[in-house]
Amino acid sequence: MAESRGWPGALSGVRGGILKISLILAALYLVVSLLPHVFEVADYRQFPVIGSRVLVWCLAQGHLMFAGFVLGVPIFALIAEVMGVVLKSERYDGLAKDFTRLLAMSYTITATLGALLLVALVALYPRFVAHMEKVFDPTWGFYVAVIFGEALFAYLYWYTWDLLQGSRKGWHVFLGVMVNVLAIGILVITNAWTGYMMTPGGVEGTELAITVTSRFDAFVNYAWMPLNIHRMLANVCFGGAIVGAYAAFRFLAATDDEERANYDWMGYIGSFIAVAAFIPLPFAGYYLGLEIYSYSQQMGVSMMGGSFAQLWILQAILIGSLFLAINLYLWLAMGRIPGGERYRKYQAPVLVVLATGLAVWATPHTIIATFAEMKAMGAAHHPRLGVLGLMSAKNTAVNLMIIATFITFMLYRRGNKRATSAFAVPGNWIQGVAFVAVVVGIVWIGIYGYFVPAAVRVGLSKYQPLMVGGFMVLFLAIEGPAYRGAKSLGEIRWGQMPRISQYVLFFLAVTFTWLMGLMGYIRSGIRQHWHVYQVMRDTSEGAYIPTHGFATMVVSIIVIIFFLFVSMVFALAMRSELRERRAS
């Protein structure tokens, strides 16, 4: 491994990485410059067999998945590294390095997919690219510079890991900060483009006859900030899930107990990161949806009540399954904690909350029913279940599911501890009273939402997550003093996890990825026959909404291809780690 061969090896690794990225960018520039000379002038061109739309769809989604991974992982790699410095723990440093190990190869794949996407857009959708160029031309060069900077710092971050240790660690942390700053830069620039396509601003006119009145408004468009927040959280969550899957792969392939223990721990940390970012994600998604609805009721209605409504049922099932899987993983993990068996009695009530919450969340407002069923109901809405189809019920269900998962996690944390502090009993009482109060409050807001105007209901919905967040903060604030000096019932037996728990980690990674693909399709699809909503019409052959079956099939194929690439990254990372170990 380059980093084990001192500075010359590290610099050679960085040079190699930068050379790869430079070659990709140069080839891209060349191809994009030549394309107009190769093809005759046209608004659209058809890609054979699968069609232009499906090709661009696959490339864009595949690129986005890898981009999400390479933007999300550095955030928690840096956090783990800083924790290693603060706690003086080599274990955290090793974990951060293991996270980063997965990035080196992923950057190349991300860049390649991004380059292919751009070539496909220029070749197949030249008129659309011409429009975007008019609006965002100044951002292109800046974007390339940021990508270049990101790659440079990322390779430096990886290849200097062993060299910048001890008194030089601060420099390495600085490199990690730069990787993240530039990664966020990439995210906000691309979100401006995506946001503009949905909620354009700063232009007058339509099609190619537009005048840019304010480039700032085009960039900082209506959906920009919600997209930034949503994607930032989603990237961390997604990155955590993929890292968890890598740890599961290594756990299952481990040949000794030490290795198994290490990857069990890594899997736990990966899933913890995924869950921590996952908890606020539904609210960030709700905020994005709300902003889209506010911008245009046409897109809002398409999304929630029209053509795409049934896909939200699928989304609810997927997210509900994630909640179930996360809880299952934690309960299985409690099996390797001495004293964890004390909390088994909470499994059934937590499951009842999760299953009921999922049932409420997945209840469609408009039910697909036979004529006889419709007649019996008196409408397409069931007179009893119809109320569960509205956001008031669904928000309530999600919030209760989050609290239930939080409780499971706190029980896991308490697993091998017996409180001895004098504050433990009153602290538990306060936590119990707060729990009851927050549950009653959430349910009350949910019910009250049916009796107030839509504007008030939407406004009220933010108090539910605020209550949940407040409850978590209070619970954690009490937990510290209540369990200070707690008696240990034994060490966690890392590595002694049933194998099925590792398949749960795979399930989390695949489900997160599939969910990302599905939601990406919905977000993009609600523009319908517009490249740029209400500004540039899509007049290509693919300007229609495909059937849900077709769309979900495409998403599934993208997920399969993504995991084939990810498997390759896993195999290379494992080979690199084994080689490094042999060398040392």
Partner 1 sequence: MRRLALPLAALVWVAVWAALRFGVQPPIPGQVMGLYMSITTVAILVYVLADQERTRAFLAPLVALLRESHLAVPRLGVLIVVPLLLGWYTYDSVRPRFDPPFEARTIHPEPPASFRLHGADFDVLRGHRPEGMGVNAQNLAAGRRLYYRNCMYCHGDYLNGQGHFADALNPLPANFRDSGTIAQLEETYVFWRVSTGGPGLPDGATPWNSSMPVWQDFLTEEEIWQVVAYIYDATGYTPRESGSAEGH
Task: End-to-end CA distance of the chain: give it in Å, rounded.
Answer: 10
The H or E element spanning position 210 is: strand 209-212
The H or E element spanning position 203 is: strand 203-206
Pick from 249, 262, 236: nearest CA to 91: 262
Compare residues 299 and 445 and give the one whose CB is closer to partner 1.
Answer: 299
By CB under 8 A, residue 381 contacts partner 1: yes
**Where in 510-569 is the site for partner 1 (CB under 8 A)?**
528, 534, 545
Compare residues 85 and 359 and give the one whose CB is closer to partner 1.
Answer: 359
**Where in 91-110 is the site for partner 1 (CB under 8 A)?**
none
Q: Tell the smallest beta-carbon distance from residue 317 to partner 1 (Å).
A: 8
Give yes or no for a contact between 416 and 338, defined as CB atoms under 8 angstroms apart. Answer: yes
Compare residues 469 and 546 and give the one whose CB is closer to partner 1.
Answer: 546
- Per-residue string for binding with partner 1, 387-426, x by CB under 8 A? x-xx------------------------------------
Pick from 206, 225, 203, 272: nearest CA to 244: 272
Compare residues 254 and 380 and give the one whose CB is closer to partner 1.
Answer: 380
**Where in 207-266 is the site for partner 1 (CB under 8 A)?**
217, 221-222
Q: Tell the smallest beta-carbon distance from residue 234 to partner 1 (Å).
A: 23
**Where in 298-317 is the site for partner 1 (CB under 8 A)?**
298-299, 301-302, 305-307, 309-310, 313, 317
State both tokens at 225: 């900030």
**Where in 478-507 is the site for partner 1 (CB under 8 A)?**
498, 500
Q: Which residues of 242-253 are buried (b: 16+ CB within 10 A; e: fewer)?
A: bbbbbbbbbbee
Q: Which of 48, 453, 485, 549 binds partner 1 (CB under 8 A)?
A: 453
Q: Tell the smallest beta-carbon distance from residue 552 to partner 1 (Å).
A: 15
Q: How far apart are CA 483 and CA 471, in angstroms?
A: 18
- Give the Å distances, CA to CA, from 274 to 193, 204, 250, 544: 27, 42, 18, 35
Compare residues 152 and 198 and give the one whose CB is closer to partner 1.
Answer: 198
Angle, CA 524 vertex, CA 545 and CA 193 arms, to 5°: 145
Compare residues 295 and 483 and give the one whose CB is closer to partner 1.
Answer: 295
Pick from 127, 168, 177: nearest CA to 150: 177
Q: Which of 386, 427, 520, 525 binds partner 1 (CB under 8 A)?
A: 386
Q: Which residues of 97-124 are buried (b: 16+ CB within 10 A; e: fewer)?
A: bbbbbbbbbbbbbbbbbbbbbbbbbbbb
- Indicate the SS3 state at residue 461: coil
DSSP 216-250: HHHHS-TTHHHHHHHHHHHHHHHHHHHHHHHHHHH
**Where in 184-203 is the site for partner 1 (CB under 8 A)?**
199, 201-202
Q: Which of 455, 485, 583, 584 binds partner 1 (CB under 8 A)?
A: 455
Say what angle helices 224-253 and 548-583 make with each other, to 10 degrees: 50
By CB under 8 A, residue 380 contacts partner 1: yes
By CB under 8 A, residue 377 contacts partner 1: yes
CB count, 10 Å around CB of 375? 10
From the number of C-beta atoms within 10 Å of its C-beta (0-12, 13-18, 19+), residue 385 rates as: middle
Q: Which of 43, 257, 373, 541 binds partner 1 (CB under 8 A)?
A: 373
Q: Tell the smallest beta-carbon distance from residue 318 to partner 1 (Å).
A: 12
By CB under 8 A, residue 460 contacts partner 1: no
Q: Tell the smallest beta-carbon distance from residue 331 to partner 1 (Å).
A: 4
Pick from 328, 262, 255, 250: nearest CA to 500: 328
Q: Which stretch binds partner 1 (CB under 8 A): 277-285, 292-300, 434-442, 565-573?
A: 292-300
Compare residues 324 and 438 and give the one whose CB is closer to partner 1.
Answer: 324
Give yes or no for a contact between 344 and 329, defined as CB atoms under 8 angstroms apart. Answer: no
Compare residues 169 and 215 and give the one whose CB is closer to partner 1.
Answer: 215
Distance of CA 497 to the CA centre of its chain: 26
Pick from 200, 153, 202, 155: nearest CA to 180: 153
- Spell out the residues 6+ positions from residue 390 whose beta carbon is closer than 8 angstroms to its own: 365, 449, 450
From the number of C-beta atoms within 10 Å of its C-beta (0-12, 13-18, 19+), residue 306 rates as: middle
**Where in 31-70 is the site for partner 1 (CB under 8 A)?**
none
Q: Give bridge partners of residue 488 from the DSSP assignment.
A: 417
Compare residues 317 and 557 and give the one whose CB is closer to partner 1.
Answer: 317
Q: Tell the smallest beta-carbon distance from residue 335 to partner 1 (Å).
A: 6
By CB under 8 A, residue 355 contacts partner 1: yes
By CB under 8 A, residue 354 contacts partner 1: yes
Compare residues 343 and 471 and give the one whose CB is closer to partner 1.
Answer: 343
Compare residues 90 and 373 and give the one whose CB is closer to partner 1.
Answer: 373
- Give the Å distances, CA to CA, from 564 to 63, 72, 135, 560, 570: 14, 20, 36, 6, 10
Compare residues 535 and 573 and give the one whose CB is closer to partner 1.
Answer: 535
- Number of residues lying near partner 1 (CB under 8 A): 76
Q: Which of 18, 119, 374, 460 binds partner 1 (CB under 8 A)?
A: 374
- Per-residue string for binding with partner 1, 322-351, x by CB under 8 A? --x--xx--xx--x--------x--xx--x
Q: Which of 38, 209, 372, 564 binds partner 1 (CB under 8 A)?
A: 372
- Read off the amino acid at residue 170: G
Compare residues 59 and 401 and give the one whose CB is closer to partner 1.
Answer: 401
Q: Tell the smallest beta-carbon distance from residue 146 to partner 1 (Å).
A: 24
**Where in 108-167 is the site for partner 1 (CB under 8 A)?**
none
Compare residues 6 and 205 and give the one whose CB is closer to partner 1.
Answer: 205
